[in-house]
Structure 1
Amino acid sequence: MKKLSASIVSLALLTSLFSAVQAADNSLSVQLNGEQIQFSESEPILENGVTLVPIHPVMEKLDVKVIWDEATQTVTGTKGSSSLSLQVGSTNAMANGTAVTLEVAPKLIRNVTYVPLRFVAETTGYQVAWSPSLHRVTLTSKQQSEGGRGFLWKIENMGNTVYLLGTMHLADDSMYPLRPEIENAFNTADYLGVEVDLMKGASEESQKLIADLSVYKDGTKLQDHISAETYKKVTAFLKAQGLPENSFDNFKTWFVEKQILYIKSSQGEHKPDMGIDRYLMEKAYKAKKPVISLENMELQFQAMNNYSDSLNERLLLQNLEPGSPNPPTPDVSVDVLAKMWSEGDYNALTEASKFIGWDTELLKSSIDDRNAAMVEKIKGYLNSDKKETYFIGVGSLHMLGDMGIVPLLEKEGFKLERQ
């Protein structure tokens, strides 16, 4: 999938919460530079949130030379100037000459030595990303990626600091590692702020709301609310996915559109589980850094539920077939957006944020209203007497434009510095 509308990209993060038809695969997998590592009889395991892997298949793929000391049950590994040392049953380890404490100790399982994957990979120069939804660990050679510059601003007021990062909800390995200024800003922050904290999953209240809002209760079905031609395209899409053609019949148009978006984005080169927002949230949870949601998830569901029938069908058609007549937003290549983000091209972001050709109803709901509410939250952090630091990651298309977060904060008298 090469195209998604810009408005859909800005909302894509929300869709992973309620994919009712996405097939679940709970097996744990490991990918290295896009290729899945094959394990024989001994598979990776999760223990207390840490991925443990059989030592030999992984070390071989990472090109790490291993020495095993049977007497002390110690593993020593070297790769170029990198070195590591671990001992079965001990959380004490060495990484490039520095003593570190592991969250989970290496162990023997049926005479196979298991070691913490993240420790081994990061020590030997790999970027590590974890996707809870896919149960997948992704390893990327840092030398294979130029990484991403992104869009970063710094704001200071009354002893408080806010770092504001424009993110991409859909990403791939090429956007990592993030540049040092972004990582350093994140590390200094007391809190991470995101649109919605998806790592803790949907609350029981949210799940009930989704169930209530997403289905028709008046005896009608999806085919009663969209044209026969559009309904045929929906059933054709389901058939192509190997799903029953009536899978969406009881669901409202906006919910169906989000389901199709999630399926298509998960199959594309740029995926939600590799998004910058998800990377930041995973990093925050690992560091036990508090995560704050800037938006109310329930209000977003209600807003989408209140879209007009015309807008909902146009969004659905644009999602099914980019280039459809009368689209609510211009079709924008995800590759173009990713290039803009990776290069930190503020001029390109400014042009994209003019939102020329957008449906006014969609623009007000998905950009203007949301930006105004998020700015109020950010103002509260900056005007606090707590003297704290916040790192806030919000979709890049929310940053600029007439109603962008950056100009709205500037109108309030705050000085924003590009980093």
Structure 2
Amino acid sequence: MHRSILAFLLLGSAAHAQCQGEDLRLTLTAAERADLDARIADMPYAQGNRWRAEKDGEVIHLVGTMHLSDPRLDAPAERLRTVMQGAGALLLEMPAQEQTKLTAALGQDPALILLDGTTLPELMDEDDWQSLSAAAKAHGLPAVMVARMRPWYLSMLLALPACAKAQMTQQDGLDVRLEAQAGEYGVPSVALEPFDTTFAIFNAEPLDDQLEMIGMTLAQQEDGASGFATTIAAYFDETAAEMWQLSAILAARSPLYTAQQASKAIEQTSAALLDQRNHDWIPVILAEAEKRAAPIVAAFGAAHLPGKNGVLQLLADDGWTLTREAF
């Protein structure tokens, strides 16, 4: 469940077979394209899905992943098989054992995704609630269920277009394939973070901020399939940084947000979902690299690779030499 919920924001999902949308990068005006280029011009490691880090004889293989299925992942997965065969450990955001823990936790503690003591109709204006109810109904979510959902959780569900639902169940993304290879070769899988990390991040957000997430999601409902198509195209172009920054430009097209508000929203999301987690992952990665005799593999959503607070730059700051490799 976790992989599907967070897929849209973290370059985690593919709905290529069912969602035949338009690459929204092709719809940018000249001014929007210039804005996008400026946003990534000086961004460290803005391109590339696969990297090799080396320091003092130690090697870390870093792979930007998609969490759900796409047939174009066949070739990258096979190219990584040799690496996995000789690896000392595979580090993932959500290995199978953590997924099991999350499933159990959701059954034991509904408050992870449900409001306690209030409902969305009580928190929202009537017109906004009716708009939300209609959007949820189109996704097959009954109003009585939606009313109790935490706003951030609901916004994630609504960000996934209806055409992607069948694809969500396949669970055959690059991280899953790499974990299967690790199992074949007896390579241990290690979690980069506790299973409930992202839930804790979102649940700590004030309800007003969570409701803003719903507003932004509803503002982009018409572009749902195209948003997915753009995300997938950017992933296989190996331009995760471009896709992340494009989100702010697309949000600014809505009359609900100014360009400044949209950029601020993306920055805040990046700080919580990417930057802080990246910093938290580095000690885990370095500890495993030091502990294992063989090179380790760290595979996670591609959006975590680029930027001054990206995993690659943080390793470079620690003295590691980074080399881009064929994805």
Q: Same fold (TM over 0.5)?
A: yes
| Deviation digits for residues 334-362 of structure 1 (CA, Å, limit 9, x no counterpart) | 3233223324x4xx344445576251332
Task: Check if 1:398 corresponds to 2:304.
Answer: yes
CA distance, structure 1, for counterparts of residue 305 and residue 206 of structure 2: 26
Deviation at 1:292, TM superposition (A): 0.9
Query: Does the CA contact (< 8 Å) of 1:173 and 1:274 recur in 2?
Result: no
Q: Does 1:312 align with 2:210?
A: yes
> Separation in 2 of the partners of 1:236 and 1:402?
40
Equivalent in the alignment of 1:387: 293
Deviations 1:23-69 (A, max 9, x none): xxxxxxxxxxx79xxxxxxxxxxxxxxxxxxxxxxxxxxxxxxxxxx
The structure with more strand, counted as a fraction of residues: 1
Which residue number in structure 2 is paired with residue 167 of structure 1?
65
Equivalent residue for 2:235, pick from 337, 341, 349 = 341
Is the Cα contact below 8 Å between 2:69 and 2:173 reproduced in 1? Answer: yes
Distance 1:377 1:167 in 2: 18
**1:341 maps to amino acid:** Y
Amino acid at match of 1:253: P
Kindly state the Cα deviation for residue 275 of structure 1 after the two structures are TM-superposed. Answer: 2.2
Higher mean alpha-carbon deviation, 151-160 vs 188-197, is at 151-160
- Whole-angstrom CA distance in 2 between matches of 1:377 and 1:150: 22
Contact 1:155 1:161 in 2 (8 A): yes
Q: Decide whether aligned partners of structure 1 residues 311 and 202 sit closer, same or farther in structure 2, where only a CA change above 3 A counts.
A: farther
Q: Secondary structure at the match of 2:10?
A: helix
Say which SS state the counterpart of residue 403 (structure 1) adopts: coil
CA contact (8 A) 2:152 2:210 kept: yes
Provide the secondary structure at the position in 2 that maps to 1:176.
Answer: helix
Q: Is the contact between residue 375 and residue 408 of structure 1 (CA under 8 Å) also seen in structure 2?
A: yes
RMSD: 3.6
User: What secondary structure is seen at the aligned counterpart in 1 of 2:115?
Assistant: coil
For structure 2, list consecutive stretches of 5 or more residues without a partner in the other structure. 19-46, 249-262
1:40 corresponding residue in structure 2: none
SS at match of 2:100: coil
Aligned partner of 2:9 in structure 1 is 9
Question: CA shift at 1:265, angstroms?
Answer: 7.2
Q: How far apart, CA to CA, are the structure 1 residues paired with 2:291 and 2:100?
A: 32
**Percent of residue pairs bearing the same amino acid type:** 18
> Conserved in 2, the CA contact under 8 Å of 1:192 and 1:291?
yes
> In 1, Cα distance between the equivalents of 2:136 and 2:114?
18
- Distance in 2 separating the partners of 1:405 and 1:381: 15
- SS of the residue aligned with 1:232? helix
Q: How does 1:187-336 map to 2 (within 5 A)?
A: 187-198=85-96, 201-203=99-101, 206-207=105-106, 210-218=109-117, 220-261=118-159, 264=162, 266-267=164-165, 273-322=171-220, 333-336=227-230
More helix by share: 2
Are 1:215 and 1:252, in contact at CA under 8 Å, matched by a contact in 2? yes
In the TM superposition, what is the alpha-carbon distance from 1:178 to its structure 2 partner? Answer: 1.7
Query: What's the offset of the Cα at 1:170?
Result: 4.0
CA distance in 2, matches of 1:388, 1:292: 15
TM-score scaled to structure 1, two decimals?
A: 0.56
Deviation at 1:283, TM superposition (A): 3.2
CA contact (8 A) 1:190 1:388 kept: yes
C-alpha separation in 1, matches of 2:163 and 2:53: 33
Q: Give, in whole Å, the separation in 2 of the partners of 1:175 and 1:366.
A: 24
Shift of 1:321: 4.4
Question: Is the CA contact 2:60–2:297 (under 8 Å) kept in the aligned structure 1?
Answer: yes
Per the alignment, in what secondary structure is the counterpart of residue 361 of structure 1? Answer: helix
Deviation, structure 1 residue 156: 2.7
* 8 A contact 1:12–1:170 mirrored in 2: yes
> How many equivalent residue pairs?
272
CA, structure 1 residues 197+265, in 2 after alignment: closer, same or farther (shift >3 Å)? farther
Out of 137, 151, 165, the residue aligned to residue 49 of structure 2 is 151
Alignment of 1:40-119 (within 5 A): none
Kept after mapping to 1: 8 A contact 2:95/2:190: yes
- Corresponding residue of 2:268: 361
Question: Conserved in 2, the CA contact under 8 Å of 1:221 and 1:249?
Answer: yes
**Normalization by structure 2: what TM-score?**
0.69
Structure 2 CA distance, aligned partners of 1:268 and 1:317?
A: 25
Secondary structure, counterpart of 2:143 in structure 1: coil
Output the CA distance in 1 between the equivalents of 2:264 and 2:162: 22
Partners in 1 of 2:162 and 2:12 — Cα distance? 11
| Larger gyration radius, structure 1 or structure 2 | 1
Compute the displacement of 1:216 (Å).
2.6
Offset of 1:254 from its aligned partner? Answer: 2.0
Distance 1:279 1:230 in 2: 41
Q: Distance in 2 between matches of 1:215 and 1:270?
A: 21
